[in-house]
Structure 1
Amino acid sequence: MKPSEALKGKTHEIRQVIESYGFVDARIFGSVCRGEDAEASDIDLLSTSSIEMAGKISLFDILDLESALEELLGVAVDFNIDNDTPEHRNLQVSQQSRTHMTTNSTIPWAPVRSTLTEKFSFGDIKQIVGYGDIDMSLLAHLEQKQQNGATKSQLLSEIDKQVGRMDETRRGAFVSICCEEMMRRKDDVVAELERVLSRVGWKFSGTALIPVEIFDIAELASIPEQARADIQKASSRLRDGDLSGALSAACGALDTVTANIYDRYNLGDAGKASFQERAKRSVDALNVKNRLVQELVEIGWSEADYKPLAANIEGSLNQAAYVMQKLRSDMGDVHGTKPVITALVYDSIKWSALLLRALAL
C-alpha cells in the first residue's frame, strides 16, 4: 500500500498520536507530498516539540512514536523534529510541505507577532497586547529609554513567554483580540495580516478570520496520478496569495487528465474543444454515470432512488466544468492583472478535485 493511501481518513488519529507524545504542528513532506510515493516509500513527518516538552523528549520516545504511527498506518514512518532540524533542511521541508495535520481552530501567534513587530511601535505593542488580558505587571519593567532601554525584541520575548503558558482557548482569544485592535488602529494592516496568515491556513471573511483547509493530502490517492502535481500547486498558490496562478493550476490538472482520455478513447483533438466540452466528453467516455448507477444498485438502491441522483450528479459535474471554464476565461491570468475573487478560486480547487475523482479509473 502506498503511504498516500494509508493516510486517507486518518489525519485526525495521526494528529492525536503525535500530540500525545508532546508534539504540535505536524506536517507531511517528501515523496507523499509531491505525489511521487510508491509502495516501498515511507511517510516523512515533521513536527515541533511543545513548549512544555522542549528538552524532555528522548530518542526512545521518538522510536516509540514512530512504532505507534507505523502500527496505525501499516507503512514505515520517518519522524523528524522541527526544533532539531538544521536550518537548510528546514527550508527544504518548508518548500515541500503542503499539509498541516491539524484541526486546531486557534489563530497562530507567530504570524501576528511578525506583523506587530513590523507595523507597530514599542508603545503600541504594549497597548495592543494589554487589551488581550495579558499580565501587564510582568511587562512593567520593560520601558523605552534613550539609554539602556528595552527593545521590541525583548518586549516580544516576554510576551511570548506568557502566550506559551496559555491554554488553547485563552491563546486563541488573546491573538484574536490583538488582530482586532491592530486592524482598528491601522487600515493597511489587514492586507499584511491576510498575507502572513493565509500561508498557515487562515483567510478573512469580512473582518473575521476563519481557518481554511485547502486540500487534504489524503485526497491525492483518489485522483489521477498525472493531475496530483497541479492540484497541489493550486493549493499552495492559493495559500501564498497567487489567486490567478491557483486557478490556472486547478484547470491545468483537468487539462492533463482530459487530454489523456481524449487520446486513449480517440475523441479527437482536445485542443480544439472547450474546457466544459472536454470534461463532459471525458465523463461520458468513462461511463461515470453508469458506474455510479451500478454501485448504487449493488447496495440496494431502486431505480426510483438512483435515477434522479445520478442525473443530478451528472448535471453537477457539467455545471462545475462550466463554472471553471468561465472563471478561467475571466479571472485566470499569468500576469495577475485581472480581478479575482478568493472564494471562487478556493471553490474551483474543490470542483477540480471533484471532477478529477470522477475521472479516476
Structure 2
Amino acid sequence: MPDNGSTVDLSPEDVSRLYGALRSELNALSVQDIRNTAAAAGIDVSRITAKAEALSGLGSRAEVMPAVDRLFGELTATAKIAALRVLAERLVASNAELASNVQGILGRHGYQFISGSFVPVGLIDAREQHFLPPSASSELARAMARLMAGDDSGAITAACGAVDLATGTIYEQQGLGNPGQVSFQAKVNTVLKKLVIFEGMHSEYLAIGMSPADADELVAHVRSATNYAAQSLQVLRRTMGDVHGSRPALRRTAYDAIKWASAICGLLDGRE
C-alpha cells in the first residue's frame, strides 16, 4: 500500500496494530467526540445504533466502540490507512496530553506520527534525535521514510526542508530578516555566523586541552565541510524539479543529503 513516499508501506498486521493503538486513546474521548472523530475518518457513524442513552441518542462507549471497530474493518485497505491518518491527526490535535499519549503508544508499536505520516521509529534513531532541533528531527524522519519508499527526490526535498525549518526559526528569533529572500547556502552561513558556532567550537576544543594549532585546523575542516554540505544541498534542491525516476546514484545522493542536513542541523541544536 504505497503512499507516495510519505508513509512507508503498512501491512494488514501493521494497520490492525496501529488501529488498536489509536483506538485505546479514541475510547478516552466523550461519546460525541468519538462519533465526530470516527466520522471525520470516513467511518459511517450513521450506521451506529444507540440504545443505552436514549435521551441523547448518542449511545454508550460499550455500544459505540464495537460498532466503530466493525465499520473500520469494513473499509478498503486504502481507506483504512486514510482513516488511521485522520484518527491520529484529530487525536494529536485535541490537547498536549493526548498527543503525548498517542505518540507514546504508537512508539511502543514501532511508529511515530510525523507531519501526517506513520514513520517507523528506527528511521531516525531515537538517540540521534537528542542531537537535533525538534523541527529538524521530524523532517529528517520524513526524508528517511521517503527514501525507504523509493521517493529519492522527495527525500532530498525533505532533507533540505529540515535545514530550512531550523534556520528559518533562528532567522525569526534573531531578527535576521526574511529567510525566504535568501539563498539556501547564504541562510546557513548567516545563522552559523550570527550564533558564532565555529568560534564557540574553537573555545570548547581549547578548554579540553587541544592545542591551538589543532583546534584551528579542526574548526577549519568542520567549517569547510559544512559549507560544502550546504552548497551540495542548494544545488540538489535547485535541480530536483528537473529530475525524474530513480537511479542508484540518486538513491546514494539522497541518503547523503539526509546526513548532510542532519550534520548542519546538529550544529544548531539547542539554538531554536
Q: Scaled by the length of structure 1, what TM-score is found? A: 0.42
Count of residues in correspondence between the two structures = 172
Correspondence 1:227 to 2:136: yes
Confirm whether residue 329 of structure 1 aligns to residue 234 of structure 2.
no
What per-residue deviation string (whole Å, max 9, x for no partner) do you get for residues 258-309 of structure 1?
Answer: 1111122222221111111011111111111012112211211111110111
Instruction: Tell me the distance in 2 between the aligned counterparts of 1:218 and 1:302.
Output: 31
* Residues 250, 348 of structure 1: 8 Å contact kept: yes
| Corresponding residue number in structure 2 for 1:345 | 254
SS of 2:130's partner is helix
1:113 aligned residue? none
Residue in structure 1 matched with residue 125 of structure 2 by the alignment: 216
Contact map agreement 2:124 2:144 (CA 8 A) in 1: yes
Give the gaps of 5 or more residues in structure 1: 1-28, 47-77, 83-89, 101-213
How far 1:99 moved relative to its partner? 3.5
Determine if the alignment matches structure 1 residue 306 to structure 2 residue 215: yes
Is 1:244 aligned to residue 266 of structure 2? no
Name the CA distance, whole Å, in 1 between partners of 2:143 and 2:177. 28
Specify the code of the residue in structure 2 equivalent to 1:225. Answer: P
Tell me how far apart the structure 1 counterparts of residues 97 and 166 of structure 2 sit (CA, whole Å): 19
2:120 aligned partner: 98
CA distance in 2, matches of 1:37, 1:287: 37
- In 2, the alpha carbon distance for the partners of 1:321 and 1:267 equals 19
**Structure 2: unaligned runs, 5 residues or longer:** 1-20, 23-87
Closer/same/farther in 2, CA of residues 44 and 261 from structure 1, 3 Å limit: closer
What's the counterpart of residue 317 of structure 1? 226
Alignment of 1:154-165 (within 5 A): none
Asked if 1:264 is matched to 2:138, the reply is no
Q: Distance in 2 between matches of 1:79 and 1:324?
A: 34
- From the two aligned structures, give the one with the greater strand fraction: 1
The aligned runs of 1:52-67 (5 Å cut-off) are: none
Preserved contact between residue 119 and residue 141 of structure 2 (Cα < 8 Å):
no
- In structure 2, distance between residues paired with 1:342 and 1:215: 17
Note if 1:277 corresponds to 2:186.
Answer: yes
8 Å Cα contact 2:132/2:266 also seen in 1: yes
Map Cα deviations across residues 312-340 of structure 1 (whole Å, 9 max, x no partner): 1011111100001011112356xx63666
User: What's the CA shift string for 1:159-197, capped at 9, x where partnerless?
Assistant: xxxxxxxxxxxxxxxxxxxxxxxxxxxxxxxxxxxxxxx
- 1:355 matched to 2:244? The reply is no
**After superposition, what is the alpha-carbon deviation per residue over 1:131-185, rounded to whole angstroms, capped at 9, x for unaligned?**
xxxxxxxxxxxxxxxxxxxxxxxxxxxxxxxxxxxxxxxxxxxxxxxxxxxxxxx
Question: Highest relative contact order (Cα 8 Å, sep 6+), 1 or 2?
Answer: 2
Separation in 1, partners of 2:97, 2:148: 23
How far apart in 1 are the matches of 2:102 and 2:128?
Answer: 17
Which has more helix, going by share of residues?
Answer: 2
With over 3 angstroms needed to count, the CA separation of the structure-2 counterparts of 1:289 and 1:41, relative to structure 1, is farther
Distance 1:266 1:227 in 2: 20
1:323 is paired with a residue whose SS is: helix
Query: Between Structure 1 and Structure 2, whose CA radius of gyration is higher?
Result: 1
Q: What TM-score comes out, normalization by structure 2 length?
A: 0.55
Which residue matches 2:61?
none
Is contact 1:231-1:353 (8 Å) kept?
Answer: yes
Aligned identity (percent) is 30
